[in-house]
Amino acid sequence: MDEMTAAAIEKIKRSKGLAEQIMRSGDGQKLMEYLTRSDGGAALDRAAKSAVSGDTKELSAMLRGLLQNQDAAAVMERISDAAKR
- The pLDDT assigned to 12 comes to 67
- The pLDDT assigned to 5 comes to 62
pTM: predicted TM-score of the whole model, two decimal places: 0.72
pLDDT tens profile 35-79: 999 999 999 999 888 888 888 889 888 888 988 999 999 998 898
According to DSSP H, which parts of the chain are helical?
3-14, 16-24, 26-36, 42-52, 57-66, 70-84
Q: Cα–Cα distance between 46 and 69 in angstroms, integer?
A: 22
- The pLDDT assigned to 59 comes to 86
Burial class of residue 5 (count of CB atoms within 10 Å of its CB; 0-12, 13-18, 19+) = middle
